[in-house]
Amino acid sequence: MNDLSLDNRVAVVIGATGGIGAAVCRALAGAGCRVAVVFRRDQAAAQALAGSLPGRDHAWAQVDITDSATLDRLARELGGRYGTVDVLVNCAGMTRFVPHADLQDLDDELIDDIFRTNWRGPFATIRALRPLLEREGGGVVINISSIAAMSGVGSNVAYCASKAALNAMTVSLARALAPAIRVVSVAPGLVDTAFIKGLDPGWRQEQVSRTPLGRLVVPEEIGQAVVAAATLTAATGCTLTVDGGRLLA
């Protein structure tokens, strides 16, 4: 992908039905992409999202990124429909709130689940779609990370570590897959999704007060960052932080 236009490009968004993923899909479709809405569980939400996007030739597909066989199937389906992938966004992830000092509750099963989804899954997705990303002048991979990778503050210790590993993978693969494929991380701070809005209002306001810009990032701004990363063709192996300045606090 050698120009700044996303018109008619093919974008694949993994984890598309979440608050951030859906905003990314809308931003990419608004920029002219044909978008494959990839989900794990909620088919109705994926179909509705694909049907609501501006533009044409959008699709939806069900995938479990912890199962490489389903990723291989996705690659075949995308190859048959589009013939190429220009933009891959790894937006799927999982976590659970565990206080950082509570080492016992962060058990082996939870640690494995987090790394299986937040690191191995994106790697396996890139591995499966690499041949499609290398076509038509090369594509870009955009990994949705978190400022938890840098701050060490997040839902639990393993989550922070998994996002740090994702950023390290971004650097490693940017080097290994160049020049055909660029790899970039987008690292949000606390994003004001419907889930966050449903939590304790006092806690949410405290988070706002700790953010230098005086507000939380909204999902649409993560979509804007993804479009920027997709079109900034000299950028690879880097992390774009979108956090309202929370890392400064």
Residues 22-79 have pLDDT tens digits of 999 999 999 999 999 999 999 999 999 999 999 999 999 999 999 999 999 999 999 9
Residues forming a β-bridge with 14: 38, 90
User: Could you tell me which of 128, 232, 234 has the C-alpha nearest to residue 179?
Assistant: 234
Model pTM? Answer: 0.96
CB count within 10 Å of CB 92 equals 25
Considering the chain, what is the average pLDDT of its residues?
96
CB 64 within 8 A of CB 70: yes
DSSP symbol at 119: I
Known catalytic residue at 159: yes
Task: Give the Cβ contact number of residue 57 at 10 Å.
Answer: 12
Q: Per the residue annotation, which of 98, 158, 159, 217 is the catalytic one? A: 159
Return the CATH fold of 10-248.
Rossmann fold (3.40.50)
Mean pLDDT in residue range 202-213: 95
Count of H helices and E strands in the chain?
Answer: 10, 7
With a cut of 90, say whether residue 3 has pLDDT above it: no
Residue 182's SS3 state is: strand
Per the listing, tokens 């002048």 go with 137
Domain ranges of the chain: 10-248
pLDDT digits (tens, 9 = 90+) for 103-161: 999 999 999 999 999 999 999 999 999 999 999 889 999 999 999 999 999 999 999 99
